[in-house]
Amino acid sequence: MLPSINKYRLYLYIFFFICLTSIFNFNIFEYYQNKFSLKKINLNGLNYNEKKIVMFELNKFKNSNIFNLSKDDVLGKLTKFNFLEKIYVHKILPSSVNINLSKTPILGKTIINGVEYFIGKNGNLINSSEIFEKNEAPQVFGEFEIEDFLNLNGILNNHHPEVGNVKKYFFFKNKRWDLLFSNDLMLKLPSKKVDDALKIYKKLLNNDNLINVKVVDLRIANQIILTNNNE
């Protein structure tokens, strides 16, 4: 027959056993928590100043569990930066994240309520305070929708009529555009069938019919009005 064990001693044994196993489990938990906490965020594709303002937001994820960090969490912080176009997030276990970023091309700049904004190809207005590199984007005037400007820019790129030489865009309430090129030639486009008008303009360029011309007026269908420099 087994010797009897004092019940109080038995309770004491059980208490110490629970404490020891709890401490062991806690140490294991703490070890893995530290091992898989986010320690390093690598940003690629930005200059020093851009990295600085982006990292200010991302540093809030430091020391969080990397398994609990989702791509949506990161995107939620980065979508506030309108100059970003593409964002790729890649976790590197146990404690790093690589984020590759690409900036949207700048197509123009405009003034809204006294504040200067750049117009990104991604369809966003970018506050000039977020642009740290010198940018000679053309000025865009008028109360236009971003979609109107992007549509025009897309058509211009399809026809390649010196789109890179446009220095000013003027938008009018009847939803048409005037373009001023760097050689001070003004092109007046119609509100409709812009594509057809640009084909005509391209033919005029190819045939050298614009020597000493300062205004090409294509607002009226089937009619070309040229104004010379001396008029």
Residue 219's Cβ-count burial label (10 Å; 0-12, 13-18, 19+) is middle
Residue 111 is predicted with a pLDDT of 96
For 113, what's the count of Cα atoms within 13 Å in the CB-facing half-sphere? 1
Closest-CA residue to 166 (of 136, 192, 196):
136
DSSP state of 157: H
Question: Helix, strand, coil proportions of the chain in percent (round to 5)?
Answer: 35, 30, 35
pLDDT of 1 > 50? The answer is: no
Domains of the chain, start order: 138-228 (3.40.50.11690)
Distance CA 122, CA 107 (A): 10
Q: Is-contact 99 88, C-beta < 8 A?
A: yes
Contact 96/69 with Cβ under 8 angstroms?
Answer: no
10 Å CB burial of residue 99 (0-12, 13-18, 19+) is: buried
Residue 28 has a pLDDT of 47
Q: Kindly tell me the sign of the dihedral angle through the C-alpha atoms of 109, 112, 114, 115.
A: negative
Residue 38, judged by CB atoms within 10 A of its CB (0-12, 13-18, 19+), counts as: buried
The residue type found at 15 is: F
* Averaged pLDDT, 125-154: 92
Is the confidence at residue 176, as pLDDT, over 90? Answer: yes
Between 163 and 156, residue with greater pLDDT: 156
C-alpha R_g of the chain: 32
pLDDT at residue 26 is higher than 70: no
Confidence grade of residue 21 (pLDDT, cut at 50, 70, 90): low
